[in-house]
């Protein structure tokens, strides 16, 4: 089937996928735009994990000031190409992440970013709590692990429930966008300022 170049361009603008991927999806969908988008999304979700190792040297920095001007956030989100960095869905995602950081006050982007002493301190507290509540030593490590996982959802950005849709974590939101645009996306770093407090 001969695929019209204008249709390929339109599909590429709609979801940010590569030219060849768009051509193949349109051929498979027999030129049906909606069906081609579905094909690309299904394919994208399956490859989101594969893309996570690809370099992200493009992107944008978003500044968000919460109404009342008492809380401000700067966040850097990276992607692979300038094409995606200019994509409206990418920009909306970055804005949502900045707004989420203002509302949810995460301390770190990923759990790997947590300093060893902070992690050790939390483990110590949870182990002591379990001991004083009379739990047997054999179950304490499991209790500590459970409490740590709950703590991660409070302080780690990628594991927090998204403030606008608590059924999704920030990482699930990121993976959905990776599937749509066909590129690796990484939240690199952020700073959250609150009047009268130190930066986080």
Nearest Cα neighbor of 179 from 20, 40, 12 is 40
Nearest Cα neighbor of 171 from 109, 83, 115, 119 is 109
Q: Is residue 165 a contact partner of residue 76, using CB atoms and an 8 Å limit?
A: no
Cα separation, 75 vs 70, in Å, equals 17
Render pLDDT for 87-115 as a digit per residue (tens, 0 to 9): 999 999 999 999 999 999 999 999 999 99
Tokens at residue 35, please? Answer: 């069906």
Mean pLDDT, rounded, for 45-66? 73
> The whole model's pTM is what?
0.70
Tokens at residue 29, please? Answer: 């969908």
Poorest-pLDDT segment among 46-50, 56-60, 65-69, 186-190: 46-50
Residue % of the chain over a pLDDT of 90: 53
What CATH number should be reported for the domain holding residue 143? 1.10.286
Residues 105 and 89 in one domain: yes
Residues 99 and 125 in one domain: no
Residues 64 and 99 in one domain: yes
Q: Is residue 184 a contact partner of residue 80, using CB atoms and an 8 Å limit?
A: yes
Q: Residue 18's domain spans which residues? A: 5-51
Nearest Cα neighbor of 48 from 143, 172, 168 is 172
Q: Is residue 72 a contact partner of residue 64, using CB atoms and an 8 Å limit?
A: yes
Number of neighbouring beta carbons within 10 Å of residue 73:
23
Q: Is residue 53 a contact partner of residue 76, using CB atoms and an 8 Å limit?
A: no
Residue % of the chain over a pLDDT of 70: 88
Q: Is residue 100 a contact partner of residue 163, using CB atoms and an 8 Å limit?
A: yes
pLDDT at residue 37, rounded to an integer:
79
Helix/strand/coil for 113? helix
Q: Quick check: is 199 in a domain? A: no
Residues 106 and 173 in one domain: yes
pLDDT at residue 100, rounded to an integer:
97
Q: Quick check: is 145 in a domain? A: yes
pLDDT at residue 46, rounded to an integer:
46
Residues 33 and 97 in one domain: no
What CATH number should be reported for the domain holding residue 39? 1.10.8.10
Q: Quick check: is 169 in a domain? A: yes
Render pLDDT for 127-170 as a digit per residue (tens, 0 to 9): 999 888 888 888 888 999 999 999 999 999 999 999 999 999 99
């Amino acid at each position: 089937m001969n695929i019209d170049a204008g249709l390929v361009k339109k599909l590429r603008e709609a979801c940010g996928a590569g030219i060849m991927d768009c051509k193949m999806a349109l051929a498979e969908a027999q030129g049906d735009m909606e069906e081609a988008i579905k094909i690309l999304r299904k394919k994208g979700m399956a490859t989101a994990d594969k893309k996570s190792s690809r370099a992200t040297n493009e992107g944008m920095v978003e500044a968000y000031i919460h109404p009342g001007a008492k809380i401000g956030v700067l966040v850097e989100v990276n992607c692979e190409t300038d094409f995606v960095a200019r994509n409206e869905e990418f920009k909306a995602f970055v804005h949502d992440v900045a707004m989420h950081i203002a509302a949810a006050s995460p301390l770190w982007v990923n759990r790997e970013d947590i300093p060893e002493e902070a992690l050790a301190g939390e483990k110590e507290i949870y182990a002591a709590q379990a001991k004083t509540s009379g739990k047997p030593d054999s179950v304490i490590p499991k209790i500590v692990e459970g409490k740590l996982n709950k703590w991660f959802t409070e302080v780690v950005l990628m594991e927090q429930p998204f403030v606008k849709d608590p059924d999704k974590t920030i990482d699930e939101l990121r993976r959905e966008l990776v599937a749509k645009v066909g590129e690796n996306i990484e939240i690199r770093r952020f700073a959250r300022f609150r009047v009268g407090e130190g930066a986080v």
